[in-house]
Amino acid sequence: MKKLLLITAAVSAFGFMPLVSQASPAEDLKAFRGYFLERFPNVPLEEFANGVYAIDTGSREQWEAIEEFPPYEFAIDEGKELFETPFNNGKTYASCFRNSGIGIKGDYPYYDIEKGQVETTESAINECRTKNGEPPLKYKKGKIASIVAYMASTTRGQVINIKIPFDQRARDAYEDGKHFYYARRGQLNMSCAHCHVDNAGNKIRADLLSPALGQLSHFPVYRSKWGSLGTVHRRFSGCNKQVRALPFKAQSRQYRNLEYFLTYMSNGIPWNGPGTRK
């Protein structure tokens, strides 16, 4: 607070804003992780992969009962079949990915220096399709969610380790996602952080708000509210609607950059998708 007051005084007295060094992504991650570990001191870092079920015993018991016969299991099987079914040219998705697409969900999202944009698992799947003469899939649910569910299931247990390359454009994409996360929007004038940072663990109506830490580890996700599986951009869109803001299109620059930032903020936590949530 004292530092902030000194900066404000300098602006008032001299009519300029002194240069303030911007926190690096690594510094952001350290502060972000530290905040949640201090707020929930009895929760180990890796447990944040389980969202609200890591911080509430009652919710966890219900979730564990559901996970005995997970509703996303059918999607994994469907995704595997789709992944292995040849395109009209005889190739499969395996031809487009490192290690034939097995255990590589953790490669995404990443900043593609040649394209100058963030690439996601879903965008890579559709790029694979178009390169092989197939039409792209819709991004929020359906076949693409099942394919990602299968790919995610082969990556379970690996630790999230998203990189920010030494390229200003990559850093700008990260900062854009960070700004999106903390910016107020919609008629309710709320940011993502208002729910999942400031009020993590508090109730909104009858539901507990999940911590932001580890929040993207379990996607794609089967939500009881949806009655189906959905991608992370489907969830972003729904959150924007809940604060009465006009959502962006799935795989828009805004949502890709948001995914990039938020996944980086979960570095060190294991991938455990697909998952089940209310």
Residue 6 inside a domain? The answer is no
Residue 146 inside a domain? The answer is yes
Both tokens assigned to 33: 């992780």
Domain hosting 41: range is 25-68+161-277
pTM: 0.90
How high is the pLDDT of residue 10?
A: 37
pLDDT: is 5 or 166 the higher one? 166
Residue 2 inside a domain? The answer is no
Q: Name the band, by pLDDT with cuts 50, 70 and 90, for residue 143.
A: very high
Of 96, 128, 192, 239, the catalytic one is 239
Q: How many domains does the chain have?
A: 2
How high is the pLDDT of residue 19?
A: 41
Catalytic, 239? Answer yes
How high is the pLDDT of residue 204?
A: 81
Q: How far apart are CA 104 and CA 121, in angstroms?
A: 9
Q: Which of 153, 187, 214 is the last residue of a domain?
A: 153
> Exposure of 14 by Cβ count < 10 A (0-12 exposed, 13-18 middle, 19+ buried)?
exposed
Looking at the fold, whether 107 and 216 belong to one and the same domain comes out as no
Phi and psi torsions of 228, nearest 5°: -165, 175
Residue 15 inside a domain? The answer is no
Residue 139's region, left for phi above 0, alpha for psi from -120 to 50, else beta, is alpha
pLDDT digits (tens, 9 = 90+) for 206-264: 789 999 999 999 999 999 999 999 999 999 999 999 999 999 999 999 999 999 999 99
Looking at the fold, whether 89 and 113 belong to one and the same domain comes out as yes
pLDDT digits (tens, 9 = 90+) for 79-138: 999 999 999 999 999 999 999 999 999 999 999 999 999 999 999 999 999 999 999 999
Residue 10 inside a domain? The answer is no
Q: How far apart are CA 218 and CA 261, in angstroms?
A: 16
Residue 265: CATH number of its domain: 1.10.760.10
Residue 211 inside a domain? The answer is yes
How many CA atoms are closer than 13 Å to the CA of 253, on its beta-carbon side?
9
Residue 59 inside a domain? The answer is yes
Q: Which of 101, 133, 153 is the last residue of a domain?
A: 153
Sort strands 275-277 and 221-223 into parallel, antiparallel or unpaired.
parallel
* 200 has a pLDDT exceeding 50: yes
How high is the pLDDT of residue 20?
A: 45
Residue 19 inside a domain? The answer is no
Q: How far apart are CA 152 and CA 146, in angstroms?
A: 10
